[in-house]
Amino acid sequence: MNNDTSMKMEKDTMITLDDNTTYVLLDETEVEGSKYFFAVKIDEKTKNPTTEYEVFEEEVENGDTYMSALDESDFKQAIMIDFLNNYMGVVGDILDETEEN
C-alpha cells in the first residue's frame, strides 16, 4: 500500500491510499530517524472507524511522502509496544487529571 502525497504526515491526519482505502493516523513514533504510524481504517460507506488497524512507515522521496504498511515481523511487534506505551501514558495523564479534580 502506498500513498503518494506532498502533505506532511502527522498524528490525527486522514490519508487515502492508492487503492482508495482511507485511514486516520492515531499515533506516531520514530525509530532511528524513520517515522511510523498506527492507523485505523475508515469504512467507505459509513465513514466510521472499523476494527481494522495498520502500521505504516513514512517514506519521503523527492519531496513526496509515501506510506508503506509493515509486514508481520518482530519489528512490527516492537513498534506496537511503543504505541501501547504511548496509549498507556495518555490514559495515565487522564487519570491523574481526574484525581486532581
Convert the pLDDT of each residue in 31-51 to its tens digit.
999 999 999 999 999 999 999
- Residue that is written with C-alpha cell 532511528 in the block: 32
2 pLDDT band, cuts 50/70/90, is: very low
pLDDT at 35: 93
pTM over 0.85: no
Torsion of CA 47, 70, 38, 82, to 10 degrees: 160
Q: What is the mean pLDDT of the chain?
A: 85
| Contact between residue 44 and residue 22 where contact means Cβ atoms under 8 Å apart | yes
What is the helix (H) or strand (E) element at residue 88, kind and residue range? Answer: helix 74-100
